[in-house]
Structure 1
């Protein structure tokens, strides 16, 4: 059963109805469900399926390719392994030609970047295969897929050579939203209330492979305990394997992730360079682009600033959780997380994790505020004075075309959140500093985004103009 992915499924099915060859590139971070989507949508049209092997030599990749082709062509004697990729694609052409005479058919190259090992000649051979033959076969759909999203963007989508402007459709597959995660778990007969689902998402994100390991009859704490803190748990050793499988110099990528995990409010490019002891130049820019395209970090342009002053934030839930609670943890074993989840450290971290989720569900927040149809720009904002005057940090600003700004405060709590006199003063100070330093003429609406709402009292009634509850984050967008 495919949960969500309606837009992506429609794109894939549309390719079957055209009268021309299609070359589809699909990319997204590891474990997000790319292979599952392709194999399920195209289960009746798939005539060849080959997956690259991580850190394998060209002879090994060629042998694996030949074995896959032998299996699909159902020959009684296995095909001989070709000496190079040019020959491999000639053999593939011979097999495909007979298959595509009858109907539109699909061939699928999974983990495409892994096949293109050093000096393999694979990408050049694929370019020749597509340009000289495949692009003229009206009954052929070629799908190439990769978890190394930055490689896919650089070498395929933005290719300057033989594949320049050859991609007919592209899909960047993102993790599940809260609603999709809830639907997916229900399809597996796992029923949890939305507060527990939110806690799961704060740790696992919307990664289908992780959610697949959730067991019925276990609470969120029990599931996390088993997956992260017990021997052979699914996520016990996932962190390093995740980055090593995607990036050649993964240590540098991990250094950025560590730096951002330690600064939840985010860092500028220069601050990242300083924290990680990098040298300035294109290497850092490329590294950040790779993390952005792979979905591990997000870039935000602060209100009233330009792109050079962008703030980078960690967006991968599992990475943030691993670095805070799993790495170097000595309290592993059954029951260890159940105890930690009641600690002050967890409660403090939850606020930052909830903010991370809200930033991924801005369309749902806009719907709850009744401004889905209004053009908006979203950003964070901070003022760090060099003098003794007060600075401030704003979690989320929704700058609206209708001359209004929602100044959002994001608070995670186990019950209704209460605004007391002190916190009301802090919110008002944020509004005042923001108005003064930006010189905005727009109306500013202080807005609360909370788990269970904000308790009605004089401070809320006199200050807060709008509010959004956790339930709204689970909404389906029309």
Structure 2
């Protein structure tokens, strides 16, 4: 449940649900997404003004939940007899719905459906049987919603699921992008502070609701997260325990990545596991969108240069600052925790800033506001020879965009710093030098160079010189 937040930026999801509702055929919709992303809030908004029953599954036994559900359906249809004496098995419930939803649209939302599957693993088979026999021949719109991505994908959406082929639509509700998140703040809010808060919450509405958006990111961390008893203090642990069977191993992997161990061999060494045993854990975390596999944008999918990064801002923040420092927090040593926060938080923000910049480019490409286009956008890293010191060095470019058809290539650096015009020119000069090592359509490509920064002095002067230049003030 979200509180103190207006309904923001779910127009695409609402249109999807409304289109299904307006159909004159029965609809079986699957709606899922990570915990706290706002699925229930979306459904509450969608249900307004429609004849509906909303049922939130519990961890009780199956018979208890059938009684609760049928009792609520009885209330919707003003059926006092059913409300007082609800059904105790599925067949009679579905037969009742068959009769009631013959002539008018009826919306039935079953939230946290995985709880029902836990009570009876055969429930998807039961729903499939009675959907085929009864509900598919009515005007019902049945929405099955869940936060356990693992269970929703493997037991509801997968080919082996009894419900495969019955659903008429599905939608994975995702966190907001940075551009949408800005709408949660007052127009007078400082954009740099919004970026800092986004580096903690990502685009998860519930986390934004738990913070005081009139205060700084550091104040919120110390008052609303890194405190015993606060809702977000144990959130990272709860997220993993709800999704994963072996959370301790995943905890270790995420802590290792958040500490800067990005290669498979380095992660394995950090957690004391053979490297060959790691892929299945990494694959699961990728599927849950907690981490992502990174390869240079010019490389093929299978590359020896593969690294991993935490994709979810909150997970990254929690494993970087809360998980390894819980002893300080538990004993009330907030002074020591603040020392760590003051020392490393801005570096954490700088990594999130790169994602914000990529989202900015994608959004502006969609709006046709860029002087170039791209079909691939990512990062690039490789090796070159330092002729002065006679050693091999690693070159990295924060953002590289490629357009296969036109040959456009975009090189961008992201600096969470306040840069003078001279400092920005130095960054751009070094960027041009590194670009010489990027092997992609070398003879025919058209190159663009640019920079993102927290703040840049002399922006217009740099733009007149042909560079692409944006700072945080351009994001609002």
TM over 0.5: yes
Q: Which residue of 1 aligns with 2:212?
A: 215
Counterpart for residue 199 of structure 2: 202
**1:383-398 alignment, distance < 5 Å:** 383-384=382-383, 388-398=391-401
Question: Aligned-residue CA RMSD in angstroms?
Answer: 3.5
Matches within 5 A, 1:306-345: 306-309=300-303, 311-327=307-323, 328-329=325-326, 330=328, 340=339, 343-345=342-344
Check if 1:294 corresponds to 2:299: no
Q: Aligned-pair distance for 1:154? A: 3.0
Contact 1:222 1:335 in 2 (8 A): no
Q: Residues 26-425 of structure 1: matches in 2 within 5 Å?
A: 26-45=31-50, 47-53=52-58, 56=59, 60-74=61-75, 75=80, 78-79=84-85, 82=88, 87=89, 89-117=90-118, 120-137=121-138, 139-186=139-186, 192-215=189-212, 217-263=214-260, 266-267=262-263, 277=273, 280=276, 284-285=279-280, 287-309=281-303, 311-327=307-323, 328-329=325-326, 330=328, 340=339, 343-364=342-363, 366=365, 370-371=369-370, 374-384=373-383, 388-400=391-403, 401-414=405-418, 419=423, 423-424=427-428
Task: Tell me: CA distance 1:411–1:62, structure 2 relative to 1, closer, same or farther (3 Å).
Answer: farther
Q: Aligned in 2, Cα 1:417/1:147: closer, same or farther, shift over 3 Å? A: farther
Of 191-200 and 358-367, more deviation after overlay is shown by 358-367
- 1:47·1:106 contact (CA, 8 Å) conserved in 2? yes
Does structure 2 retain, via aligned residues, the 8 Å contact 1:148–1:246?
Answer: yes
| CA spacing shift, 1:417–1:104, aligned 2, 3 Å | farther
Question: Offset at 1:244?
Answer: 0.7
**C-alpha deviation, 1:271, in angstroms:** 6.2
Provide the C-alpha distance between the structure 2 equivalents of 1:453 and 1:420, rounded to a whole number of angstroms.
7
Shift of 1:81: 6.9
* Counterparts in 2 of 1:440 and 1:166: CA distance versus 1, 3 Å: farther
- After superposition, the C-alpha distances for 1:392-429 in whole angstroms (9 at most, x for unaligned) are 11211111242211111011125667526764553233
CA distance in 1, matches of 2:30, 2:459: 51
Instruction: Give SS of 1:452's match.
Output: strand
Report the 3-state secondary structure (helix = DSSP H, G, I; strand = E; otherwise coil) of the residue aligned with 1:433. Answer: coil
Aligned to 1:442: 445
Aligned residues: 455
What's the CA shift string for 1:307-332, capped at 9, x where partnerless? Answer: 22254321111111122222225268
- The answer to whether the 8 A contact 1:224-1:337 is kept is no
Q: Secondary structure at the match of 2:423?
A: coil
Which residue of the partner structure matches residue 467 of structure 1? 469
Residues in 1 aligned to 2:184 and 2:287: alpha-carbon distance in whole angstroms: 25
Give the Cα separation in 2 of the matches to 1:449 and 1:440.
Answer: 27
Listed as ranges, the gaps of 5+ residues in structure 1 are: none
Unpaired segments of 5 or more residues in structure 2? Answer: 1-5
> Residues 26 and 471 of structure 1: is their aligned pair in 2 closer, same or farther, counting only changes over 3 Å?
farther
Report deviation, 1:38.
1.2
1:27: Cα distance to partner? 1.6
Retained in 1: the 8 A contact 2:71–2:86? no
Q: CA deviation at 1:280?
A: 3.9
Shift of the alpha carbon at 1:92? 2.3
Shift of 1:290: 3.8
